[in-house]
Structure 1
Amino acid sequence: MTASSLPLKGKNILVPRSKGQAQSFSELVEKYGGSPVEIPLLAFRPAKSPELHAMINQLHAYDWIIFTSSITVETFLSFLHHSNREHMPKIAAIGKKTESYLLTKGFQVDFTPKEFVAEGFVEEFKPYVKKGMKVLIPKGNLARNYIAAQLSNYGAVIDEAIIYETFFPEDSRELIKDKLANSQLDILTFTSPSTIDHLMAVVEENNLYEKVEACIIGCIGPVTKERIESYGLKVDVAPDVYTVHHMIKSTIDYLENEYRRAL
């Protein structure tokens, strides 16, 4: 790959994911010459969910189960006994990554929306909703209840179960503080509202707002963009397709446009 095809060369790019989840993101950054800086801005742990066990025992009674992320699938399957797999209802998955993860685990995915956000999902899923149909939505403790509320309005009977908790790893606090304080991050990427909330907690504690302002900021999805802007920050990169790949490509386009403007 030539130097001209390494548009991220010399750029330190925040990869806000844990080691296990960061690999494909980091490889994409490296492919274009950038230096990934892996600092997980959120981590997950299974929640105590006694109601989930009762729901799992009644899986056959549900018409649909909706998975909004691969971490939701992974955590749900950790609760699922092998004998329950044959009783799975129809499966809806938001996002290609969620769908792919389900397929690798041997499940059939019956519905995937074109848009990878809750609002788009509801709009596209509407024709499948029948009055009185039962839907199970496993979720994290910080997840919105938009899907449940909207589908309930259309007559579905919704059961939500919090199956994992999101938290900010302590090690990441010091890492973020040091990298920002020493201007060692050029591009910040955010994949959810929680990631920006956690980073900004460190920023506000250590008076590092100007350091963040000096960075290029990219994000996935309108909800994340709105949260970033609520802190008074400008979002430079927000692709129409809500994937890491498109965020990186859009970042490259942004840098090239900035370079042309500087000429």
Structure 2
Amino acid sequence: MVKRIAITRPEERSKAAKEFIENYGAEAVIVPTLELRLENTDSLKELMERFDELDWLIFTSVSSIDSIFKFYPDFVENLNSDCRIATIGTKTAEVAMNKGLHIDIIPKDYTAEGLIEEFERIDLNNKIVGVPRTFSARTILPKALKDMGAEVILAESYKSVIPEDKNDIINLINEILDENIDGITFTSPLTVVNLFKIAEENERDTDKLVEKLSNSTLTVAIGPITGKILDEYGVRHIYPERYTVKDMIDLMFRELNNKN
């Protein structure tokens, strides 16, 4: 029987995961539990007004790059030539380089903690660091940069929101409860939080959902940060050594094949 694997990340970010899943002969069930809304907020405008002052620019996701280039298409031409750029993860770096940006740092550990470790080797005292991202992200990175002596310009470049139409998510929850989903992937803490929030709002048994995600459905997180949220809900899960979509899917099918 064909395995059915749920993808909870936004649809525009699901192409690679869908291809990896289908290459294993499985069905990809794309049901985003969050949407990414690009926005030209006041804080992003402030960052762009000061981009010629920046010593560092940090991209923590592809969405931040998409947002800047959507609202400021001449960004590269006007960027301070001395500004250095860091990204979390190779995918974000790849997108940045395709936009004409030179990447100076990609941490080995694709997390905020990994990036902080890299910056601990660099003198950030009195440096100006721009960090465009969603304000729903963890505060550990900007706080650490400030502790290193940097002036941090934190800019909201996109919002992570629950989809307005929740019907597909409710159907996914029902399918998990009915044991019709073989595996599920979570690529950020909010993909987990929103699933449970919608389950509660629609009076689904969250204890039973935890039990099914822990036993009947193989739950895979992209890395330990998302895994920590699953721990908080009591969901048994696994995550790969390298925090990439490909490694996540490969791990999932190794585990599924071992069960057969």
Cα RMSD after superposing both structures? 1.8
Aligned position for 2:148: 154
**CA displacement at 1:84 relative to structure 2:** 6.1
Q: Which residue, out of 52, 66, 78, partners 1:60?
A: 52
Paired residues for 1:65-80 under 5 Å:
65-80=57-72
**CA displacement at 1:202 relative to structure 2:** 3.0
Aligned position for 1:5: none
Partner of 2:48: helix, strand, or coil?
Answer: helix
Q: Which residue, out of 170, 177, 180, partners 1:174?
A: 170
Deviates more, 1:90-99 or 1:167-176: 167-176
Cα 1:50/1:36, change in 2 over 3 Å:
same
Deviates more, 1:108-117 or 1:247-256: 247-256
Deviations 1:140-172 (A, max 9, x none): 021112111111111111110112111121244
Q: In the aligned structure 1, how far is the partner of 2:170 from the partner of 2:197?
A: 12
Is 1:50 matched up with 2:42? Answer: yes
Is 1:231 matched up with 2:233? Answer: yes
Q: In the aligned structure 2, how far is the partner of 1:162 from the partner of 1:177?
A: 31
Aligned position for 1:135: 129
**CA displacement at 1:216 relative to structure 2:** 0.8
Aligned position for 1:201: 197
Residue type at the aligned position of 1:72: S
Cα 1:151/1:94, change in 2 over 3 Å:
same
Cα 1:192/1:19, change in 2 over 3 Å:
closer
Partner of 1:127: helix, strand, or coil?
Answer: coil
Is 1:98 matched up with 2:92? Answer: yes
Residue type at the aligned position of 1:68: T
State whether residues 129 and 151 of structure 1, in contact with CA within 8 Å, keep that contact through their aligned partners in structure 2. Answer: no
Select the structure with the greater relative contact order (CA < 8 A; seq sep ≥ 6): 2
**CA displacement at 1:83 relative to structure 2:** 6.0
State whether residues 122 and 147 of structure 1, in contact with CA within 8 Å, keep that contact through their aligned partners in structure 2. Answer: yes
Cα 1:85/1:223, change in 2 over 3 Å:
same
Aligned position for 1:33: 25
Residue type at the aligned position of 2:89: G
Residue type at the aligned position of 2:240: P
Partner of 1:233: helix, strand, or coil?
Answer: coil
TM-score of the two chains, using structure 2 as the length reference: 0.89
**CA displacement at 1:229 relative to structure 2:** 1.1
What is the number of residues matched between the two proteins? 250
Partner of 1:206: helix, strand, or coil?
Answer: coil
Over the matched positions of the two proteins, sequence identity in percent amounts to 29
Partner of 1:74: helix, strand, or coil?
Answer: helix
**CA displacement at 1:181 relative to structure 2:** 4.3
Cα 1:140/1:83, change in 2 over 3 Å:
closer
State whether residues 113 and 125 of structure 1, in contact with CA within 8 Å, keep that contact through their aligned partners in structure 2. Answer: no
Aligned position for 2:181: 185
Residue type at the aligned position of 2:112: A
Deviations 1:27-79 (A, max 9, x none): 10010111100111111113451132132122111100100011111112222
Deviates more, 1:165-174 or 1:25-34: 165-174
Deviations 1:93-112 (A, max 9, x none): 11001000011111111211
TM-score of the two chains, using structure 1 as the length reference: 0.88
Q: In the aligned structure 1, how far is the partner of 2:235 from the partner of 2:106?
A: 32
Cα 1:50/1:17, change in 2 over 3 Å:
same
Q: In the aligned structure 1, how far is the partner of 2:23 from the partner of 2:145?
A: 41
Which runs of 5 or more residues in structure 2 are unaligned? Answer: none
Residue type at the aligned position of 1:119: E
**CA displacement at 1:81 relative to structure 2:** 4.4
